[in-house]
């Protein structure tokens, strides 16, 4: 069922359900889809409207950027049905097995769940994101592509694969499915403004909400439920917890002090490094291309793109965060002192015109408590403090990236006879990072209440009936784009809510 | 194989370029003028051959690496010494090029690299670029 809070909810009304989900993006809608038809009544509160957003609605997302200045906060996510999947590009990749382990060289690394625990949910996420049933098996994907990896016998660097969702727009794709369900009620223009705890401060008793579409007088109403799930995105999940401070000055579920902290992005370094290489073969594996895969039941078309990435062994030996390298053949190399033409003299005996390949690096970043979502003193039209986003990247990450790319230079020279250019300043990699719109870490998952905000089941340590869905629970971000993992975790959370296991 | 004291060689190299090394080696004194000319040509052809005639570009890399002291900073000055020796003693480019190639390969296998304006290069190839710069700049 689909309701408009502006017209269908009376002032002061109390809505009730077994489960209340806040947000209808990738996380919230996946959860609602998985709970539908399973004997629970579900309310989904969505701040935006059905098909498009307006500047006035987006205004609630405005905020300050006191760290790296990039896309402004209201330009990097969407407040509408389907959330930011309205804008996403559909690049998908699971996290690496090692991403879940504690990596002693990365402070605060290690998930309280394993890759194997999440693997079955990746299979479900594949379907939701319209990626087909083909498993995430590199050998299978490689065997189906007509192209060969480059170099043919990789060692320190391996080839991983991105796959591409159409991209699935959750609003138009799944909105109608949920609107047709009797046990799911979606309320549009329903903005949560505060989480209120019970007297013991152990459970959420209600959510304070406002019906509002960017103009007019906001109309208050409430929602009561047995269990609540915040699925508002990686910045807003932290914001609403911090902003709900009428009972607890540090905000709700913030006994550890980690709410808002360890904000992570995937810094994208577009066409930053570059290489020249002689006698380059077909690089088709590293371009977006479609392949057909026999799944045992049917033939499915899969869109693939290979990227280079450091092996787990190299990451461990050099103490690296993870990253991937996208290859763009023919791209100019941005080096004023020694351009690709000049450097080609080094390879001239083997190839008069060596191929130039631009490299785009997408990196993980070390969780850093000082990189964080905070509240500013300014409030939005609903009285909720705006965010102050202080995104920072530790110098150590830039230093490690430089180390990794020097190793890549050796790899390129030894295995391909090529030469690599790495933009750097002294001992650190030096290029302007751009964000991916991937907001992670601000309500991190941990093994105990001291080290994080939610437990292995995404339940808040401090508040028994409050759960969090989305990439804010990622304790580390890996280098893979987050949405596949967000969807996998949301289906896993649905299982937990349904079975308690 | 010709061996020069390191101090002599570097001084010769930095002050007088490849010609200085060749002079410091004393080789021309032992041969007739005609022979000297032909072995000088052989030496030049090693450098030129290494870069397939693109000495000007190699020299540019050499100048940048000299201005940054790239080889010295990376602790690979011996590559300069050794490359200069190989070139100075070359009578025929073929074996010299093969030896230089083998050195580059061995350095990369060991992970010995020098960074010049962001390019990750082998010490020997940087040394050859420096020699090319000295050659062209006199
Ligand atoms: C330009 C762009 C490109 C991207 N490309 C990719 C990609 O290729 N691959 C990839 O993996 N990821 C990509 N992403 C990231 C991807 O969009 C997000 O990971 C994903 O949408 C997050 O899902 P979510 O449900 O956690 O949050 P969102 O999708 O942002 O959904 C949050 C929902 O909560 C609602 N909400 C917020 N506050 C309130 C409130 N107070 N009350 C009620 N409701 C509220 C919002 O309106 C919204 O519907 C991209 C992002 C951008 C911006």
pLDDT digits (tens, 9 = 90+) for A346-377: 999 999 999 999 999 999 999 999 999 999 99
CB contact under 8 A, A346 and B51: yes
Distance, in Å, from the CA atom of A322 to the CA atom of A251, rounded to the nearest integer, reads: 33
**How near does any CA of chain B get to the CA of A406, in Å?**
7
For the record, the structure tokens of A5 come out as 């809070």
Tell whether A278 and A406 lie within a shared domain: yes
Q: What are phi and psi of A238, to 5 degrees?
A: -70, -40
SS3 of residue A227 by DSSP: strand
pLDDT digits (tens, 9 = 90+) for A468-480: 999 999 999 999 9
Decide the pairing of beta strands A204-211 and A219-230: antiparallel
Out of B58, B120, B122, the one facing A345 most closely (by C-beta) is B58
Q: What is the CA(A434)–ligand 1 centre distance, in A? A: 17
Tell whether A342 and A210 lie within a shared domain: no
What residue of B is the nearest CA neighbor of A340?
B119
Tell whether A99 and A153 lie within a shared domain: no
The CA-based diameter of chain B, rounded to the nearest angstrom, is 45
Residues near A425 by Cβ (< 8 Å), separated by ≥ 6? none
Contact of A338 with chain B, judged by CB distance below 8 Å, is answered with yes
The CA-based diameter of chain A, rounded to the nearest angstrom, is 80
Place of tokens 């910045």: A235
Tell whether A285 and A185 lie within a shared domain: no
Q: What is the CA(A238)–ligand 1 centre distance, in A? A: 14
Mutation for testing the B interface, residue in A333, A346, A354, A359 having most B CBs under 10 Å: A346
**How near does any CA of chain A get to the CA of B70, in Å?**
12
For the record, the structure tokens of A237 come out as 């999940």
User: What confidence tier does B33 reach under pLDDT thresholds 50, 70, 90?
Assistant: low
What pLDDT is stored for residue A70 in this prediction?
87
- Residues in chain A with CB shorter than 8 Å from the CB of B57 are 341-345
Closest approach atom of ligand 1 to CA A46: 44
Mutate-to-test residue for ligand 1 from A23, A128, A435, highest number of ligand atoms within 8 A of CB:
A23
- The domain limits of chain B are 38-137
CB contact under 8 A, A338 and B109: no
- Residues in chain B with CB shorter than 8 Å from the CB of A423 are 118
Tell whether A90 and A152 lie within a shared domain: no
CA atoms within 13 A on the CB side of A223: 32
pLDDT digits (tens, 9 = 90+) for A42-84: 999 999 999 989 999 999 999 999 999 988 999 999 999 999 9
* Cβ–Cβ < 8 Å for A474, A264: yes
What pLDDT is stored for residue B29 in this prediction?
37
User: In Å, how far from its chain's centre is CA A360?
Assistant: 18
Write down the pTM of the prediction.
0.94
CB contact under 8 A, A413 and B113: yes
Q: What is the CA(A250)–ligand 1 centre distance, in A? A: 25
Tell whether A177 and A280 lie within a shared domain: no
Tell whether A235 and A121 lie within a shared domain: yes
Q: Where are the alpha helices (DSSP H) in A146-196?
A: 170-179
Q: Domain residues for A292? A: 133-164+267-363+394-432
Tell whether A444 and A428 lie within a shared domain: no
**Alpha-carbon dihedral sign for residues A296, A302, A306, A309:** negative
**Alpha-carbon dihedral sign for residues A18, A119, A114, A26:** negative
CB contact under 8 A, B60 and A338: yes
What element of type H or E holds A333? Answer: none
* Cβ–Cβ < 8 Å for B132, B44: no
* Cα distances (Å, whole numbers) of residue A292 to A301, A499, B130: 4, 37, 52
What pLDDT is stored for residue B10 in this prediction?
54
Q: Where are the alpha helices (DSSP H) in chain B?
A: 6-25, 33-50, 55-68, 70-73, 77-88, 93-110, 123-137
Q: What is the CA(A41)–ligand 1 centre distance, in A? A: 24
**How near does any CA of chain B get to the CA of A357, in Å?**
14
CB contact under 8 A, A346 and B118: no
Pocket of ligand 1 (CB under 6 A): A 22-28, 45-48, 76-77, 79-80, 83-85, 87-91, 191-192, 231-233, 236, 240, 437-438, 470-471, 481-483, 486
Query: Which residues partner with A344 through β-bridges?
Result: none
The structural domain count of chain A equals 2
Q: Is residue A387 over pLDDT 90?
A: yes
- Residues in chain B with CB shorter than 8 Å from the CB of A337 are 64, 117-118
Q: Which residues of B47-84 are buried (b: 16+ CB within 10 A; e: fewer)?
A: bbbbbbebbebbbbbbbbbbeeebbeebebbebbbbbb
* Cβ–Cβ < 8 Å for A177, A33: yes
Angle value at C-alpha A193, between A187 and A199, nearest 5 degrees: 110
Q: Is residue B15 over pLDDT 70?
A: no
Distance, in Å, from the CA atom of A362 to the CA atom of A489, rounded to the nearest integer, reads: 22
- Percent of chain A at pLDDT exceeding 90: 93
Residues near A250 by Cβ (< 8 Å), separated by ≥ 6? A242, A257, A259
Tell whether A324 and A202 lie within a shared domain: no
Distance, in Å, from the CA atom of A180 to the CA atom of A17, rounded to the nearest integer, reads: 17
ipTM of the modeled complex: 0.90
- Percent of chain B at pLDDT exceeding 70: 71
Total CB pairs under 8 A between chain A and B = 79
Residues near A297 by Cβ (< 8 Å), separated by ≥ 6? A133
Minimal CA–CA distance to A394: which of A418, A371, A421? Answer: A371
Tell whether A58 and A174 lie within a shared domain: yes
Count other Cβ atoms within 10 Å, centred on residue A294.
11
Distance, in Å, from the CA atom of A28 to the CA atom of A438, rounded to the nearest integer, reads: 16
What pLDDT is stored for residue A155 in this prediction?
75
Instruction: Provide the mean pLDDT of chain A.
Output: 96
Distance, in Å, from the CA atom of A17 to the CA atom of A185, rounded to the nearest integer, reads: 9
Distance, in Å, from the CA atom of A120 to the CA atom of A165, rounded to the nearest integer, reads: 19
pLDDT digits (tens, 9 = 90+) for A421-462: 999 999 999 999 999 999 999 999 999 999 999 999 999 999
Q: What is the CA(A110)–ligand 1 centre distance, in A? A: 24
For the record, the structure tokens of A231 come out as 């699925």
For residue A336, count CB atoms less than 10 angstroms from its CB and return exposed for 0-12, middle for 13-18, buried for 19 or more: exposed
Decide the pairing of beta strands A190-197 and A204-211: antiparallel
Tell whether A325 and A412 lie within a shared domain: yes
pLDDT digits (tens, 9 = 90+) for A15-26: 999 999 999 999
Q: What are phi and psi of A385, to 5 degrees?
A: -55, 140
Select from A384, A414, A432 the last residue of a domain. A432
Q: Where are the alpha helices (DSSP H) in A104-255?
A: 115-128, 138-144, 170-179, 236-243
């Amino acid at each position: 069922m689909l309701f408009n809070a502006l017209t269908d909810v009376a002032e002061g009304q109390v809505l009730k359900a077994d489960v209340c989900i806040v947000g209808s993006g990738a996380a919230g809608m996946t959860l609602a889809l998985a709970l539908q038809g399973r004997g629970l009544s579900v309310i989904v509160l969505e701040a935006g409207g059905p098909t498009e957003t307006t500047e006035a609605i987006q205004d609630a997302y405005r905020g300050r950027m006191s760290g790296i200045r990039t896309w402004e906060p209201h330009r990097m996510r969407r407040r509408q049905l389907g959330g930011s999947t309205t804008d996403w590009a559909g690049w998908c990749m699971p996290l690496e097995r090692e991403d879940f382990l504690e990596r002693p060289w990365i402070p605060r690394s290690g998930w309280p769940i394993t890759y194997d625990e999440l693997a079955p949910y990746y299979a479900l996420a594949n379907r939701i994101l319209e990626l087909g049933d083909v498993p995430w098996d590199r050998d299978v994907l490689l065997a189906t592509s007509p192209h060969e990896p480059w170099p043919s016998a990789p060692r320190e660097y391996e080839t991983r694969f991105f796959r591409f969702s159409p991209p699935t727009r959750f609003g138009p794709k799944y909105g109608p499915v949920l609107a047709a369900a009797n046990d799911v009620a979606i309320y549009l223009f329903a903005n949560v403004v505060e989480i209120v705890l019970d007297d013991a401060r152990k459970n959420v008793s209600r959510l304070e909400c406002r019906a509002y579409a960017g103009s007019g007088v906001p109309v208050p109403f409430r929602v009561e439920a047995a269990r609540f799930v915040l699925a508002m995105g990686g910045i807003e999940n932290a914001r609403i917890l911090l902003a709900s401070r009428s009972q607890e000055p540090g905000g709700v579920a913030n006994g550890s002090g980690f709410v808002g902290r360890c904000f992570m992005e995937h810094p994208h370094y577009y066409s930053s490094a570059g290489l020249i290489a002689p006698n380059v073969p077909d690089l088709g594996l590293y371009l977006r291309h479609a392949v057909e895969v026999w799944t045992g039941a049917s033939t499915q078309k899969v869109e693939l793109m290979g990227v280079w990435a450091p092996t787990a062994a190299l990451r461990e030996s050099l103490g690296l965060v993870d990253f991937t390298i996208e290859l763009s053949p023919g791209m100019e190399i941005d080096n004023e002192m020694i351009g690709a033409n000049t450097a080609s003299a080094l390879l001239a005996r083997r190839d008069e015109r060596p191929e130039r390949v631009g490299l785009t690096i997408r990196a993980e970043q070390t969780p850093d408590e000082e990189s964080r979502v905070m509240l500013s003193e300014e409030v939005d039209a609903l009285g909720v403090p705006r965010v102050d986003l202080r995104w920072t990247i530790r110098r150590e990450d830039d230093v490690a990236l430089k180390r990794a790319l020097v190793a890549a230079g050796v790899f390129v020279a030894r295995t391909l006879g090529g030469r690599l250019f790495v933009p750097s300043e002294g001992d650190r990699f030096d290029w302007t990072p751009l964000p991916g719109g991937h907001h992670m870490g601000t309500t991190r998952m941990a093994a105990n209440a001291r080290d994080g905000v939610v437990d292995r089941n995404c339940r808040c340590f401090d508040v028994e009936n409050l759960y969090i869905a989305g990439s804010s629970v990622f304790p580390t971000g890996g280098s893979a784009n987050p949405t596949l993992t967000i969807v996998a975790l949301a289906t896993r959370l649905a299982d937990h809510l349904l079975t308690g296991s | 194989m010709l061996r020069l004291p390191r101090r002599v060689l570097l001084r010769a190299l930095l002050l007088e370029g490849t010609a200085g090394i060749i002079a410091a080696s004393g080789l021309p004194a032992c041969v007739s003028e005609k022979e000297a000319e032909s072995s000088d040509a052989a030496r030049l052809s090693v450098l030129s051959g290494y870069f397939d005639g693109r000495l000007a570009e190699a020299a540019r890399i050499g100048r940048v690496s000299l201005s940054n002291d790239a080889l010295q900073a990376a602790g690979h000055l011996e590559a300069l010494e050794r490359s200069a020796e190989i070139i100075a003693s070359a009578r025929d480019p073929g074996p010299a090029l093969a030896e230089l190639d083998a050195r580059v390969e061995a350095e990369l296998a060991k992970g010995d690299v020098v960074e010049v304006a962001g390019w990750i290069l082998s010490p020997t190839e940087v040394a050859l670029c420096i020699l090319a710069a000295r050659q062209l700049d006199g």
